[in-house]
Chain A
Amino acid sequence: MSRVVITGLGIISAIGDNVNQNREMLIQGVSGISSLQFCDTRYSGLRPCGEIKHTIPSLKEKLQATEPGVTRTSLLALHAFQEACGNAKLQLSDIASPDTALIGASTVGGMCLTDELYHDANTKEEGSPYLSSYDCASVNLYLQQRYGMKGIINTINTACSSSANAIMYGARLLQQGLAKRAIVGGADSLAKFTINGFNALHILSPEICTPFDQDRKGLNLGEGAAFLVLEREEEVKDKTVYAILSGYGNSNDAYHPSSLSDNGDGPQLSMQRALETADLSPLQISFINAHGTGTENNDLSESTAMIRLFGAPPPFVSSKANTGHTLGAAGAIEAVFSILNLYHQEIYPSLQFKTPIETTLLTPVQEYRPASLQHVMSNSFGFGGNCSSLIFSRLI
């Protein structure tokens, strides 16, 4: 089976509008989490978030997105999509080709327009311009229509692991010969809907989150988008290859609708299956970008799973205190970070950590350092027990 390589990256998050800015902020250990400025909610001063400091009109102008009904989530997606395609030197004809797939993930979709949605869903009078923009698929359908894409288009929603599964699905399309290239990733924007949802579950932290810390108080929501261009190795010619997507695993924890099992069955299985598809042993993993949301439940379950699988886990970080938890975009954003780890042979620090969890005693890497990395794992776990792990490897 042909190897799947990454030839393009695009990202927008609370720590930067493009790949270079994101990398610079990761190196400097800057957190993008702050009080909300643009997302209208009564929690704006109470629950800090990883907000992208651009207004919708400024994004529309920058992207020349004048179509009616375009949402913030679609704008963020378009921003990252354009960077990834440019980075991979894709022509418009390549993007529109029947051989190019678009596999995107979103959990919020157009529900970022919580108030408009409330109006449209409860009225029989005139609708808003957003009637066909609320669902998760609207984001990818916007990209499809803007670029006249004729290949396989799909949208995946497995909550917080959505875009890891989008990456996986794209890779499988290439391996099975159903596409020559796949643009894969995810996008989500901050919404009153998700802020209130997570807040109702009492898992939003009132401060910047502290992943893997004994005294962690919950997660911060974030927004962003990231896309990767996947191509078959034999077709890339002289393009820059950032990494190989060497392994992927998906499992279900089958424990509870909104929390992970204490012994981390689902996380352990997804990591193990990723190792199996990559044909690697646990010892060969150089580094892990953990899911590490900063909730009581996730960090304990993930730590337990890492210990079960690795014994002594390799160096790991969580980048959630940098970007916030970007839900459907998280898997893709952290895939970009993992690929940057590999390509630049460096580790970015995990922020906000003080005290290890009593029962697991794991300590994430807390300072920037160059490192010799061969295989990097990225974890994403979501509600409904949906667990996914990806492994990226250095091209040698």
Chain B
Amino acid sequence: MEKEQLKQQLKQQIVQFLNLTSIQPGDIKDDEPLFGEGLGLDSIDSIELIVLLSREYGVTIQDPKEGRKVLVDINTMADYIIAHKTK
């Protein structure tokens, strides 16, 4: 899959998985921080996103600290998926 396509798919999955009802997938910018400022996600969301990566892409992140490096923005997530995906 093209990286651009992956990023669009990822945005849709995030909106659906986290039930971000007030946000359209297209509103999320590739380099917008997911946590704090930006989308305003929190620690529970970060765990939910780790589960999403596992279920949808077979990408496992064991250590939540490593998760923080991966779950910076859409770009970093997409890069990590491309490097590690198993499905």
Residue numbers of A with Cβ under 8 A of B are 200-202, 256-259
How long is the Cα–Cα vector from A258 to B42 in the complex, in angstroms?
A: 11
Any A CB within 8 A of the CB of B47: yes
Chain A neighbourhood of B5, CB < 8 A = none
Residues of A within 8 A of B38 (CB): none
Please report whether the interface of chain A is mostly helix, strand, loop or mixed according to DSSP.
loop
Are the C-beta atoms of B47 and A259 separated by less than 8 Å?
A: no
Flag if A201 contacts B47 (CB, 8 Å): yes
User: Inside 8 A of A202's CB, which chain B residues have their CB?
Assistant: 47, 64
Report the Cα distance A21→B65, complex, angstroms: 41
Interface size on B, residues (CB 8 A): 6
Among A202, A257, A259, the one with the most B-chain Cβ atoms within 10 Å of its Cβ is A202
Q: Are A256 and B47 in contact (CB under 8 A)?
A: no
Instruction: Name which residue of chain B comes closest to A297, CB basis.
Output: B43
Which of chain B's residues have a CB closer than 8 A to the CB of A256? 42-43
Q: Are B64 and A257 in contact (CB under 8 A)?
A: no
Look across to chain B and name the residue whose beta carbon is closest to the beta carbon of A202: B64
11 A-B contacts (beta carbon < 8 Å)? A200-B47, A200-B51, A201-B44, A201-B47, A202-B47, A202-B64, A256-B42, A256-B43, A257-B44, A258-B44, A259-B43
- How far, in angstroms, from A348 to B43 measured CA to CA in the complex? 35
Residues in chain B near residue A257, CB distance under 8 A: 44
Chain A minimum-CB-distance residue to B46: A202
The CA-CA distance from A256 to B44 in the complex, in Å, is 10
A182–B53 alpha-carbon span in the complex (Å): 51
Q: How far is the CA of A201 from the CA of B47 in the complex (A)?
A: 7
A331 to B51: give the CA distance in the assembly, Å: 33
> Which residues of B lie under 8 Å from residue A200 when comparing CB positions?
47, 51
Question: Cβ of B51: which chain A residues have Cβ within 8 Å of it?
Answer: 200
Chain B residue at minimum C-beta to C-beta distance from A200: B47
**Using Cβ atoms and an 8 Å threshold, which residues of chain B touch A259?**
43
Chain A residue nearest to B44 (CB atoms) is A258
Q: Mark out the residues of chain B between 32 and 72 whose CB falls within 8 Å of any chain A CB in the assembled complex.
A: 42-44, 47, 51, 64
Shortest distance between the CB of B42 and any CB in chain A (Å): 7
Taking the closest CB of chain B, its distance from the CB of A231, in whole angstroms, is 43
| Inter-chain contacts of B42 with A (CB < 8 A) | 256
B29 → A minimal CB distance (Å): 26
- Nearest CB to that of B50 among chain A residues? A202
| B67 to chain A: closest residue by CB | A202
Nearest-Cβ distance from residue A395 to partner chain B, whole angstroms = 45
Kindly list 8 other residue pairs between chains A and B, CB separation below 8 angstroms, not including A201-B44, A201-B47, A257-B44: A200-B47, A200-B51, A202-B47, A202-B64, A256-B42, A256-B43, A258-B44, A259-B43
Identity of the chain B residue whose Cβ is nearest the Cβ of A258 in the assembled complex: B44
User: How far apart are A281's CB and chain B's nearest CB, in angstroms?
Assistant: 36
Contact residues in B for A201 (Cβ distance below 8 Å):
44, 47
Smallest Cβ distance from B62 to chain A, in angstroms?
A: 10
Docked Cα-Cα span, A257 to B48, in Å, equals 15
Closest beta carbon of chain B to A42's beta carbon, Å: 16
Which B residues lie within 8 Å of A258 (CB)?
44
Closest-by-CB residue of A relative to B62 is: A202
- Bound complex: CA of A259 vs CA of B51, how far in Å? 20
Which residues in A have their C-beta under 8 angstroms from that of B43? 256, 259
